[in-house]
Protein backbone atom coordinates (compact mmCIF):
# COMPACT_ATOMS: atom_id res chain seq x y z
CA UNK A 1 0.00 0.00 0.00
CA UNK A 2 2.86 2.39 0.85
CA UNK A 3 4.53 1.77 -2.53
CA UNK A 4 1.26 2.49 -4.31
CA UNK A 5 0.91 5.83 -2.49
CA UNK A 6 4.49 6.70 -3.39
CA UNK A 7 3.84 5.94 -7.07
CA UNK A 8 0.68 8.05 -7.05
CA UNK A 9 2.51 10.94 -5.40
CA UNK A 10 5.34 10.70 -7.95
CA UNK A 11 2.87 10.65 -10.83
CA UNK A 12 1.12 13.67 -9.37
CA UNK A 13 4.44 15.53 -9.01
CA UNK A 14 5.41 14.55 -12.57
CA UNK A 15 2.12 15.97 -13.87
CA UNK A 16 2.64 19.12 -11.82
CA UNK A 17 6.15 19.63 -13.23
CA UNK A 18 4.84 19.09 -16.77
CA UNK A 19 1.96 21.55 -16.28
CA UNK A 20 4.27 24.21 -14.90
CA UNK A 21 6.75 23.63 -17.72
CA UNK A 22 3.90 23.98 -20.22
CA UNK A 23 3.10 27.32 -18.58
CA UNK A 24 6.75 28.37 -18.97
CA UNK A 25 6.57 27.52 -22.67
CA UNK A 26 3.41 29.59 -22.99
CA UNK A 27 5.10 32.56 -21.30
CA UNK A 28 7.95 32.23 -23.78
CA UNK A 29 5.57 32.13 -26.76
CA UNK A 30 4.00 35.32 -25.43
CA UNK A 31 7.49 36.93 -25.27
CA UNK A 32 7.51 37.04 -21.45
CA UNK A 33 11.09 35.77 -21.29
CA UNK A 34 11.89 36.40 -17.64
CA UNK A 35 8.56 35.02 -16.49
CA UNK A 36 9.24 31.93 -18.64
CA UNK A 37 12.64 31.49 -16.95
CA UNK A 38 11.20 31.86 -13.48
CA UNK A 39 8.41 29.39 -14.20
CA UNK A 40 10.82 26.90 -15.79
CA UNK A 41 13.07 27.04 -12.73
CA UNK A 42 10.08 26.22 -10.53
CA UNK A 43 9.18 23.26 -12.76
CA UNK A 44 12.81 22.14 -12.55
CA UNK A 45 12.73 22.13 -8.74
CA UNK A 46 9.71 19.82 -8.82
CA UNK A 47 11.20 17.56 -11.51
CA UNK A 48 14.46 17.22 -9.56
CA UNK A 49 12.61 15.77 -6.58
CA UNK A 50 11.41 12.85 -8.68
CA UNK A 51 14.39 12.50 -11.02
CA UNK A 52 12.06 12.81 -14.02
CA UNK A 53 13.27 12.83 -17.61
CA UNK A 54 11.54 16.16 -18.07
CA UNK A 55 14.52 17.67 -16.21
CA UNK A 56 16.50 17.37 -19.41
CA UNK A 57 13.87 19.27 -21.40
CA UNK A 58 13.61 22.01 -18.78
CA UNK A 59 17.40 22.37 -18.59
CA UNK A 60 17.53 22.56 -22.38
CA UNK A 61 14.79 25.18 -22.47
CA UNK A 62 16.64 27.33 -19.94
CA UNK A 63 19.89 26.83 -21.87
CA UNK A 64 18.27 28.04 -25.09
CA UNK A 65 16.85 31.14 -23.40
CA UNK A 66 20.16 31.94 -21.71
CA UNK A 67 21.90 31.62 -25.09
CA UNK A 68 19.31 33.92 -26.63
CA UNK A 69 20.02 36.45 -23.87
CA UNK A 70 23.76 36.24 -24.57
CA UNK A 71 24.57 34.51 -21.27
CA UNK A 72 26.89 31.92 -22.80
CA UNK A 73 28.37 30.50 -19.60
CA UNK A 74 24.97 29.90 -18.03
CA UNK A 75 23.62 28.56 -21.30
CA UNK A 76 26.48 26.06 -21.54
CA UNK A 77 25.98 25.06 -17.89
CA UNK A 78 22.28 24.33 -18.39
CA UNK A 79 22.97 22.51 -21.63
CA UNK A 80 25.47 20.24 -19.87
CA UNK A 81 22.89 19.66 -17.16
CA UNK A 82 20.41 18.65 -19.85
CA UNK A 83 22.88 16.12 -21.23
CA UNK A 84 23.51 14.71 -17.76
CA UNK A 85 19.76 14.44 -17.09
CA UNK A 86 19.13 12.13 -20.05
CA UNK A 87 18.26 8.50 -19.36
CA UNK A 88 19.92 6.12 -21.83
CA UNK A 89 16.88 3.81 -21.77
CA UNK A 90 14.42 6.57 -22.72
CA UNK A 91 12.97 6.22 -26.25
CA UNK A 92 14.06 9.75 -27.21
CA UNK A 93 17.56 9.43 -25.74
CA UNK A 94 19.53 9.40 -29.00
CA UNK A 95 17.74 12.31 -30.61
CA UNK A 96 17.76 14.33 -27.39
CA UNK A 97 21.47 13.69 -26.91
CA UNK A 98 22.26 14.80 -30.47
CA UNK A 99 20.15 17.92 -30.04
CA UNK A 100 21.80 18.97 -26.77
CA UNK A 101 25.28 18.24 -28.12
CA UNK A 102 24.53 20.42 -31.14
CA UNK A 103 23.10 23.15 -28.90
CA UNK A 104 26.21 23.05 -26.72
CA UNK A 105 28.48 23.36 -29.80
CA UNK A 106 26.38 26.29 -31.01
CA UNK A 107 26.63 28.00 -27.61
CA UNK A 108 30.37 27.48 -27.33
CA UNK A 109 31.03 28.69 -30.88
CA UNK A 110 28.63 31.61 -30.82
Q: Are 70 and 37 in contact (CB under 8 A)?
A: no
Provide the residue-wise pLDDT of the chain in tens; the chain has 110 residues.
556 555 446 668 889 999 999 999 999 999 999 999 999 999 999 999 888 899 999 999 999 999 999 999 999 999 999 999 999 999 999 999 999 999 999 999 97
How many structural domains compose the chain? Answer: 1
Q: Tell me the residue range of the domain where 87 lies.
A: 2-109
Which CATH number does the domain housing residue 55 bear? 1.25.40.10
pTM, two decimals, is: 0.88
Report d(CA 82, CA 100) in Å as an integer.
7
69 SS3 class:
coil
Amino acid sequence: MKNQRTLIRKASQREKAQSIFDLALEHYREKHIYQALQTARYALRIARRNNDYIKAYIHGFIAAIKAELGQKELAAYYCRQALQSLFSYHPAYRSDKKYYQALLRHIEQG
